[in-house]
Amino acid sequence: MTAQYQVQDGIAVITLDNPPVNGLGHSTRLGIVEGMTRALDDAAVKAVVITGAGKAFSGGADIREFNTPKATQEPTLHSVIKVIENSTKPVVAAVHSVAMGGGLELALGCNYRVASKGAQIALPEVKLGILPGAGGTQRLPRVIGLEAALNMIVTGNPVPSEKFAGTKLFDEIVDGDVLPAAIAFARNAASASGPHPKVRDLKVRHENAEGFLAFAKNTVAAVAKNFPAPGKCVEAVAASLKPFDEGLRLEREGFMFLVNTPESRALRHAFFGERAASKIPDVPSDTPTRKIEKVAVIGAGTMGGGISMNFLNAGIPVIVLETKQEALERGVATIRRNYENSAKKGKLTQEKVEQRMGLLSTTLSYDDIKDADLIIEAVFEEMGVKETVFKKLDEVAKPGAILASNTSTLDVNKIASFTKRPQDVVGMHFFSPANVMKLLEVVRGDKTGKDVLATVMQVAKKIKKTAVVSGVCDGFIGNRMIEQYSRQAGYLLDEGALPEQVDKAIEKFGFAMGPFRMGDLAGNDIGWAIRKRRAVEKPDIQYSKTADLLCEMGRFGQKTGAGWYDYKPGDRKPYPNPQVNEMIVQHSKDLGITRRKISDEEIVERLVYALVNEGAKILEEGIASKASDIDMVYLTGYGFPLHRGGPMLYADQVGLFNVLQAMQRYAKGYHGEAWEPAPLIKKLAAEGKGFNG
C-alpha cells in the first residue's frame, strides 16, 4: 500500500508513501480512502492529518499511470476529496516541500491546511496542455482570490508557501517539521465544536470580476496563441464565480476537451520524452558513474566559452586551454561580459559573477589539464585538428578521465581510435550558444564505456541540459536530419519559391526561424564548407547550387551584413535583396526549369516530411533508440514548434498513411530521388501504426 496509517494520541495520520514525489496513483488514492474509513470507524480517533513521506507532500498525479486505465480507476481524486469533505471529523493537510497539481487539490479538499515555510505550491497542469481537473480552478480562487489564483493556474509556476500568509489557503505556516504542528492543530480543531470549514462553501469575491476576466482573456490569447489550455484555464477560473457544483462541471468539461487536443498530446509527449531521453536501454540506472569535480575545455572561442559557462554556472571548476595568450584573454573577456550583461539585467548578483569567474582558470600548456576528470575539446571542425588534440590528450590525461569531442558531424569512432583508451571517448555535441541552448547530443562510440555514458548523462542534468544519446553517423541525429530539410529548401528555390516565402511559411507553422534566416545566422560559409566535403565523400547526394552561388557573392550571412537577406547594423531583421532573388530566378533558367507558384502547404510538407523520413531511417539504424529522442533533439535544439511535439509525433498526428501518400507524390517531381520512403514508414503505415505506438 502506498499510503500508511497510524494513530498518535487520538489523531489518525495518513502518510502518502509513493516515491519519488508521492504521486496520487490508484494505490495511493485507495490508501487515503481506506485510512479515512478506519479513522471514521474508530471512536478513539478525534481528527485526521494527511501528510507525505520523504521529500514531498504530493507532486500530483502519478505520471507512471498516465494513459493507462489506472489513471481514471475509482476512487478518482474527485472521489477521494468527496470522502474527505464528507468527514464528520476534522481533516488537516500537513503540507511540506512540494504540493503541486493533484497534491494541492487534495490539500484544498481538507478542512484545514498547515504548511512548512518554503514549500513549493503550484497547479502546473497548463504546462501539459490541460487544466487542474480535481477542483483546483474552483477551490484556489476561494482561498487566495480570483487574480492570484488565475495567475498561478495560467502560468503553472510554483510559489513558496510563505507568500500565502494571511490568506485562507494556509491556517498556519511553520518553521521546521510540519507534522507535529499539524497534529497539534488537529487536536485543537477536534476540541472545537463543528461544523468544520469547507473551501467549497466560500464565495469568490472581486470588485470588478468581469473587467478583470476580459483583460485576462485578451492577454492570454495574445501570449499563448498556439495553445488552447491557458484560455480554457481563464474560462474555468471564471466559473468559480458560479455555484460550486456548476463550476466543477465546467472545469471537468474544459479538462476533457483539452486532454484530447493535439497541443496537449504534444506537451505531454515532450514532458515524457525529456524523462525518457535519460534512460538508455542497455545502461542500467544503477550503473556506477565517475566523479566529475574538475573540467578542462580546449578552445576559448565562442563554443569553448559557452561550454565553460555551463560548468561554471553549476559550480564546477573549469580550466580553459588555448594555443595563444590573446585567444585566452579574448575568451575570458567574453565570458565575463556575458555574466556582466546578466547582472545588468538583474539575473545575477555581482557576487555570483565573481564567484563563477573565480572558478575559471586558463593555461597554454596541456600539462596543466592532466588532473581534469572531464576534458571537452571545442577546436576547429576538421579531422586532422581533432587527431592532434586527442593524441596529445592520450599522453597527458589521467587514467579514467573522460575525453569528449564537441564535433557536430565527424566520426567519433575515428576520433576515439587516436587514443589507446577508446572506452573513455564520447561525443558531447553542444549547440550554439552553448550556455543558452538546452540540447546536448551525447554521441556513443562503438567502444564508449557504459559508465562513461551514465556519467555524461548525469553531468548533463547537473548543467541543466536535455541530453539525447545518438549513435555514430554523419551529422548524428540533428544535423543529419537538417541536411535533408536544407536540401528541400534549396530545391524549392529552384522550382519557384523565394527565401522569404519559404521562411514565412515554416515560421507560420511554428518554427522559430526558417531555413534561410537560420543559414544567415549560422553563417552560409559553414554550409558551403560541408557541401564541398560532401562533394568528395558523397558525390551522389545532390544540392541546389543557389547556396554556393550566394557564397560566391561573398554573402555569408549576418556576420557580413549580407546573406540570403540584407541586414542593417544593430538590426537582425532580414530585408529581402533584389540581386539575390534575381540570382535565384536566373539559376532556374540556367537549369531549364519553368518556375511555378508553390503553396505554403507544399513548403511545410516538404520541409517537415524530409525531417520525418530521415528520422525514420535513424530509428531503423538504431542511431536513436526511440522516436521521442528525435523529437527532443528538434524541440530543444532546432526550434521545432513545441505545440506540434516534434517531427515524429507530428507525423503520427497527421497519420503515417497520409505522410507516405505525400512523399510518393513528391517522388514524382523535381529531385524525386530524395523522397524514397524509409522502409519503417511503409511498414508502420501499412499496419496503421505511428512511431509512438
215 and 307 within one domain: no
Where is the domain boundary, 409, 440, 470? Answer: 470
424: phi then psi, degrees, rounded to nearest 5: -95, 0
CA nearest 630: which of 678, 666, 664?
A: 678
Residue 185 in contact with residue 172, Cβ under 8 Å? yes
Cis check: omega of the bond before 195, within 30 degrees of 0: yes
Pairing label, strands 159-160, 295-298: unpaired
502 and 593 within one domain: yes
345 and 235 within one domain: no
What global pTM score does this model have? 0.90
Residue 438 in contact with residue 273, Cβ under 8 Å? no
Here the cell at position 284 is 542500467
> Is 357 inside a domain boundary?
yes
CA nearest 139: which of 60, 237, 24, 252?
A: 237
506 and 455 within one domain: no
Calpha distance 220→225 (Å, rounded)? 8
Where is the domain boundary, 470, 500, 527? Answer: 470
551 and 419 within one domain: no
Beta bridge partners of residue 568, listed in sequence order:
571
Calpha distance 180→602 (Å, rounded)? 65
> Number of structural domains, the chain?
3
Q: Where does 278-382 have alpha helices with state H? A: 302-313, 325-344, 350-358
91 and 137 within one domain: yes
DSSP state of 134: S
Here the cell at position 354 is 565573481
DSSP state of 37: H
The H or E element spanning position 418 is none
> Which SS3 state, helix, strand or coil, does residue 414 take?
helix
449 and 535 within one domain: no
CA nearest 459: which of 504, 428, 498?
A: 428
> Which residues 6+ apart lie within 8 Å of 591 measured at CB?
494
CB burial of residue 521 (10 Å; 0-12, 13-18, 19+): middle
Residue 296 CA neighbour count, 13 Å, CB half: 28
The CATH number covering residue 215 comes to 3.90.226.10
> Is 251 inside a domain boundary?
yes
95 torsion bin: left (phi>0), alpha (psi -120 to 50), beta (else): beta
pLDDT computed for residue 538 by the predictor = 73
Domain around 543: 478-687
Greatest alpha-carbon span in the chain:
94
> Is 286 inside a domain boundary?
no
Here the cell at position 484 is 535533408
Find the catalytic residue in 105, 381, 500, 614: 105
The CATH number covering residue 454 comes to 3.40.50.720
Here the cell at position 657 is 498513411
> Which residues 6+ apart lie within 8 Å of 689 measured at CB?
656
Give the dihedral sign, CA 337/341/342/346. positive
> Is 407 inside a domain boundary?
yes
CA nearest 114: which of 58, 161, 46, 77?
A: 161
The CATH number covering residue 657 comes to 1.10.1040.50
524 and 418 within one domain: no
219 and 351 within one domain: no
Low-confidence ranges of the chain (pLDDT < 70): none
pLDDT computed for residue 530 by the predictor = 79
Here the cell at position 218 is 485578451
Calpha distance 547→683 (Å, rounded)? 35
Here the cell at position 222 is 495574445
Calpha distance 153→136 (Å, rounded)? 9
552 catalytic, yes or no?
no
> Is 409 inside a domain boundary?
yes
> Is 272 inside a domain boundary?
no
> Is 672 inside a domain boundary?
yes
395 catalytic, yes or no?
no
Residue 49 in contact with residue 186, Cβ under 8 Å? yes
Calpha distance 378→428 (Å, rounded)? 10
386 and 249 within one domain: no
HEC assignment per residue over 220-282: HHHHCCCCCHHHHHHHHHHHHHCCHHHHHHHHHHHHHHHHCCHHHHHHHHHHHHHHHHCCECC
461 and 492 within one domain: no
> Which residues 6+ apart lie within 8 Å of 522 measured at CB?
432, 557
40: phi then psi, degrees, rounded to nearest 5: -70, -30
Here the cell at position 350 is 555581482
Find the catalytic residue in 125, 263, 500, 602: 125
Where is the domain boundary, 236, 259, 282? Answer: 259
Calpha distance 42→115 (Å, rounded)? 27
Pairing label, strands 571-576, 565-568: antiparallel
> Is 266 inside a domain boundary?
no
Q: Cell 508513501, residue?
A: 17
> Which residues 6+ apart lie within 8 Å of 322 measured at CB?
298, 299, 300, 328, 331, 362, 364
617 and 546 within one domain: yes
Residue 631 in contact with residue 646, Cβ under 8 Å? yes
